[in-house]
Amino acid sequence: MKMIKPQYQLRSWFGVAAVLLLLPVARAALPLSRDFTHIVSATTDPTVETRRQLLGPFYEQVEWEDERVFRAIRPFYSRISDPELERTHTDWLWPLARWRTDRTMRSGRILLAFFHDFDVDDPQSQSRAWVLPVFFSGHSRLREPYLAVFPVGGRIHDFLGYSRLRFVLFPLYADSRRGLDETVDVLWPVFSRTEGPGHERWRVFPLYGQASERDGTQRRFVLWPIWSSVRRENTADDGSGFVLFPFFGRLRTEHQSSYTLIPPFFRYASHPDGTELHYPWPFLQRSTGHTEKNYIWPLWGRKSSPGNDRAFFLWPLGRLGRQERGDTVAIQRTFYPLYYTRQIYCAETLESDDGTDASVFHGDGRPRERYEKVWPLYSYQRADEASVFRLLALWPGRPFTAIERNFASFWTLYSRTQTDAAREQELLWGLFRRRVKDSGSRRTQVFPLLAWERDATDDRREVSILRGLLRFGKDGDNSFGSIFSVLRWGDDEDLP
């Protein structure tokens, strides 16, 4: 029977609702010289092309020079679109629902209902419509239709690493496929059997089980977890081992050996890459060789391997780390939830005078990118020469894009934005606003009492009191002004 591919009509209803909500503010694009701040504002922002706002943080529309557009009716709706990449991301009452498009791919979620269509132009392409944990339908990567109602029965594809999963009155019966391995379970997890190329495993849990691998490794357990054993034959590392829980365990092969006492608390292991010691786990741990580790948990610990260096103190509150990625190095410091910082350096800036790498906790020179948050006071972000400082910052830890889009504006009482060409400050969602451009132009506003601006390029100055009831200024040698838009003097084409 041919299954019809699910049509996600919910997306259309979301679109209609969004349009109806946006209609009252669709014409909020006033001339850039008219700014009513907490009612409606349309202004030029230093980092974008235009920004329009309605009622402070509740409505916002941003249009970039590369044609990207962001709209938000907070906290109900937000949408960001990129026509060049044919991508959109829409949130409704986040985290209640979201919808994404990426060229021909569509995906969405409403609570625990997930929708994903990998190619809307192909009715038989991979797709899924799931309502966890009870309903599953869609098409697999091999274009096979499937349907399941848990725990009654059915078939699911591409789920939790399984290419296929079938069940009837689970846990009464289930069979699955992972790679080339086939598994049959009866009264899961009691009776199970797995077969595949060079691999065989069966068990009657927890009484007895055994597994044979293609490389000659054999594993067994008896009365799990009391007894388990492993034997390797005809491999590059032949040997055997066992664990008698909770007393003792041992492993001996040609290249490594380990001893465990009261597993997993006390353990010593040696192998070609180094040694490992628990005394006891997880409180005291030490490793040498390829990975260096010293833990006094939860007070302090450090783990290092080529390209990575991590440390903690007062786990899980304090964390530090360094990670190399190509020609960049990322350094991160966290004391949750009070402090978080992440810095991106060019690799060469982290070399000391003798050519060795600098400490994991320090960076020499200026980072290429930097993000810092002192919760709940402020956040600071810089990429190259552009930076943004905001006060307050109520979301703890690292920045989270959904929070930034839908909620952060409500608690941003003050912001300072700076680029190569301009700087802007804003207090209380626009009650105070100041913009300064490198060309010399500047504008300051204290809504609704006073506004003054200066354009150095043509030596123009202007002051506006009570939203233009009294307005006067100077343009070169020419003075101008107006009172109640009735009494006017001077020559100014911008006068009403």
Beta strands at 478-483 and 470-475: parallel, antiparallel or unpaired: antiparallel
SS3 sequence of the chain: CCCCCCCCCHHHHHHHHHHHHHHHHCCCCCCCCCECCCCEEEECCCCCCEEEEECCCCEEEEECCCCCEEEEECCCEEEEEECCCCEEEEEECCCCEEEEEECCEEEEEECCEEEEECCCCCCCCCEEEEECCCEEEEECCCCCEEEEECCCEEEEEEECCEEEEEEECCCCEEEEEECCEEEEEECCCCEEEEEECCEEEEEECCCEEEEECCCCEEEEEECCCCEEEEEECCCCCCEEEEEECCCEEEEEECCCEEEEECCCCEEEEEECCEEEEECCCCCEEEEEECCEEEEECCCEEEEEECCEEEEEECCCCEEEEEEEECCEEEEEEEECCCEEEEEEEEHHHHECCCCCECCCCCCCCCCCEEEEEECCCEEEEEECCEEEEEECCCCCCCCCHHHHHHCHHHHCCEEEEECCCEEEEEEHHHCEEEEEECCCCEEEEECCCEEEEEECCCCEEEEEECCCCEEEEEECCEEEEEECCCEEECCCCCCC
Sign of the alpha-carbon dihedral angle for 357, 362, 368, 370 = positive
Alpha-carbon gap, residue 428 to 423, rounded angstroms? 17
pLDDT of residue 384: 81
Q: How far is 359 from 412, CA to CA, in rounded Å?
A: 35
Q: How far apart are CA 353 and CA 489, in angstroms?
A: 68
Amino acid letter for position 36? F
pTM of the predicted model, to two decimals?
Answer: 0.78
Is the separation of the CB atoms in 59 and 73 below 8 Å? Answer: yes
Amino acid letter at 29?
A
The residue type at 117: D
The token pair that represents 289 in the structure block: 């060789």
β-bridge partners, 155: 166
Report in angstroms the alpha-carbon separations of 187 from 156, 196, 261: 19, 21, 34
Beta bridge partners of 327: none
What span, in angstroms and rounded, lies between the C-alpha atoms of 63 and 54? 15
Strands 208-212 and 217-222: antiparallel
CA neighbours within 13 Å on the CB side: how many for 368? 11
Query: Which tokens hold the place of 103?
Result: 């060229």
Q: Could you tell me if residue 283 is left (phi over 0), alpha (psi between -120 and 50 degrees) or otherwise beta?
A: alpha
Looking at residue 481, its pLDDT comes to 85
pLDDT at 26: 37
What distance in Å separates the CA atoms of residue 222 and residue 207, rounded to the nearest whole number?
A: 6
Tens of pLDDT, residue by residue, the chain (496 residues): 344 444 444 455 444 444 444 433 333 333 333 444 444 444 445 455 688 888 889 999 999 888 899 999 999 999 999 999 999 999 999 999 999 999 999 999 999 999 999 999 888 899 999 999 999 999 999 999 999 999 999 999 999 999 999 999 999 999 999 989 999 999 999 999 999 987 899 999 999 999 998 888 999 999 999 999 999 887 778 899 999 999 999 999 988 999 999 999 999 999 988 999 999 999 999 999 999 999 999 999 999 999 999 999 999 999 999 999 888 899 999 999 999 999 999 876 555 444 444 444 444 467 889 999 999 999 999 988 889 999 999 999 888 999 999 999 999 999 999 988 889 999 998 889 998 888 778 889 998 889 988 887 777 888 988 877 888 888 877 888 888 877 887 765 554 4
